[in-house]
Amino acid sequence: MKIAICPGSFDPVTLGHMDIIRRAALLFDRVIVVVMSNAAKSPLFTQVERMDLLKRAIDAEGIDNVIVDCYDGLLAEYAKLRNATAIVKGLRAMSDFEYEFQMALTNRKLYADAETVFLTTTSDHMYLSSSLVKQVAGLGGDVTDFVPACILPDIADKFRKE
Ligand code: PNS
């Protein structure tokens, strides 16, 4: 069975993430979407909330070979633990490339049995990021075109509480 890991901070999941997850699910037998921490970011949603948002978005799409998990350690360690042969990342623009390339090389050094696979984003999602969603929503803007419909109330609630 070919297992792929789709890692990210997913704070929150966007339509761009969902596009990558959906396409990865067509390429691999099983995809594990894993909520991790990014040392450079402090998340708005808790790890449990981020997992819940992802699970609901995936359920809403009816994708049945994808599961959601979380892990606080190294991605390479997690890939080994799960016997994954691939780490799937979405590439939006050239600006993503250097950082992603650096991570891919580091992960290969740490665990050579998992290959990093880059899926290019669809042009509709080129500009999209979780940070942008938070900025727009935080200033009262409409994020309907940026995130799965089922998580819109959660975003509104979070900013109401903030
Ligand atoms: O969605 P993001 O924030 O771009 O995802 C980045 C993430 C979480 C995949 C990256 O920070 C990561 O792999 N974190 C886990 C810790 C780790 O393995 N760090 C070394 C990466 S080379």
What pLDDT, on a 0 to 100 scale, did the predictor assign at position 161? 73
Q: Residue 32: how many CB atoms within 10 A of its CB? A: 21
What pLDDT, on a 0 to 100 scale, did the predictor assign at position 139? 95
Q: Residue 31: how many CB atoms within 10 A of its CB? A: 28
* Full domain range(s) for residue 8: 3-161
Helices first, then strands: H and E counts in the chain? 6, 5
33 lines ligand 1 (CB under 6 A): no
What pLDDT, on a 0 to 100 scale, did the predictor assign at position 132? 96
Contact 6, 21 (CB under 8 A): yes
CATH code where residue 111 lies: 3.40.50.620
Query: Among all residues, which ones are annotated catalytic?
Result: 17, 41, 92, 130
H helical segments located in 41-90: 47-61, 75-81
130 lines ligand 1 (CB under 6 A): no
Total number of domains constituting the chain: 1
75 lines ligand 1 (CB under 6 A): yes
Could you give the CA distance from residue 72 to residue 121 in angstroms, rounded to a whole number? 26
Mutate to test the pocket of ligand 1, among 74, 97, 116, 129 (most ligand atoms within 8 A of CB): 74
What pLDDT, on a 0 to 100 scale, did the predictor assign at position 14? 98
- Could you report the average pLDDT of every consecutive run of 10 residues in the chain (162 residues)? 97 97 98 95 96 98 96 98 98 86 97 97 91 96 97 95 72
